[in-house]
Copies of this chain bind each other. A is one copy, B any other.
Amino acid sequence: MRRSERLVVMTKILTDHPNRIVSLSDFGNELKAAKSTISEDLAIIRQVFQDMKLGKVETIAGAAGGVRYVPLASMEKICRTVGLVCRELADPQRILPGGFLYMSDLTSAPDLMTSVGEIFATRFCDRKPDAVITVEARGIPIALMTARALNVPLAIVRRVSRVTEGTVVTMNYVSGSAKRIETMSLSKRALQPGDRVLAIDDFMKAGGSARGLVDLASEFKAEVVGIGVLVETAEPPEKLVKEYESLVVLENVDPEKRQISIRPSRWVTELMGGGDA
């Protein structure tokens, strides 16, 4: 096999398995090449990924060592993705009775959710989460794609306890906006004590669900080390969780004038500003 051919195979394998360590021997066996040759190939891939802002290819030393591809969304990609979400959500055809916005097509769009998952993984990878959690159902695609990019398991919190979940921890909580009592339920097997957990959801209004996830995780003696949501509403400004990151802020929906006011969240705006400076 020639170098050019090996590079194709190695790039494919690394891209298909974000954050998974592939040993040099595995590559060597697959490609019938010496470790030194594989090392040289990897140096090329590492450099190209860096130059073209395709993510990072990291070398891990030691017995369990090897190489892994860390998806890092570039500033350009973050801005492009957030811009797309803003444009899509600003379409007045999305306005539903009661001033709600239809966004289920976006939150389950595979390509867009792959990008959003990479962005959250980029944003939170330094918190070293062991798992991602979300509440069913609309947050699942984003959470799954974030978990995939981080190569950690996903735990899905149910709103109704199911027999197929086995022994569960069920918790009542107050939804922040509607002040209703809601229920969350998670299988005892889904999280381990000491787990560092990343909570991902599609939407935050008052933050009741996010607060619920934090409290539920603590019942497992696990700790929420980050909260990411695709869309937050500007109102109420005080949320039930202090630290969280959103991609876009929904300022206002005016069903009369059929106008939607939406903008990138602050850290994305700063990123965009930093790009111009």
A interface residue numbers (CB < 8 A to B) = 3-5, 7-9, 11-12, 15-17, 20, 44-45, 47-49, 52, 54, 96-98, 100-105, 108-111, 113-114, 136-138, 140-141, 144-145, 147-148, 151, 153-156, 158, 163-166, 187, 189-190
Q: Are A44 and B96 in contact (CB under 8 A)?
A: no
Q: Are A144 and B147 in contact (CB under 8 A)?
A: no
Q: Supply 11 further A-B pairs (C-beta < 8 A) apart from A17-B111, A136-B136.
A: A5-B44, A5-B48, A15-B15, A100-B163, A100-B166, A102-B166, A102-B189, A108-B155, A110-B153, A138-B156, A141-B154
Closest 5 CB pairs of A and B: A110-B148, A136-B137, A11-B11, A108-B154, A15-B15
CA distance A101 to B162 in the complex (A): 12
CA distance A72 to B246 in the complex (A): 36
A sample of 21 inter-chain contacts (CB < 8 A) reads A4-B44, A7-B8, A8-B45, A8-B48, A9-B54, A11-B15, A15-B16, A102-B165, A102-B187, A102-B189, A103-B164, A105-B190, A108-B140, A108-B147, A110-B151, A111-B151, A136-B137, A137-B156, A138-B156, A138-B164, A140-B141
Q: Are A7 and B7 in contact (CB under 8 A)?
A: yes
Residues of B within 8 A of A108 (CB): 140, 144, 147, 153-156
- Tell me the minimal C-beta distance from A17 to chain B in angstroms: 7
CA distance A59 to B12 in the complex (A): 19
- Tell me the minimal C-beta distance from A7 to chain B in angstroms: 5
CA distance A108 to B159 in the complex (A): 16
Q: Are A8 and B187 in contact (CB under 8 A)?
A: no
CA distance A17 to B166 in the complex (A): 37
Residues of B within 8 A of A154 (CB): 108-110, 141
CA distance A52 to B187 in the complex (A): 40
Question: Which B residue sits closest to A15, measured CB to CB?
Answer: B15
Residues of B within 8 A of A109 (CB): 153-154
CA distance A164 to B48 in the complex (A): 43
Q: Are B111 and A20 in contact (CB under 8 A)?
A: yes
Q: Are B144 and A9 in contact (CB under 8 A)?
A: no
Residues of B within 8 A of A7 (CB): 4, 7-8, 11
Question: Which B residue sits closest to A137, measured CB to CB?
Answer: B136
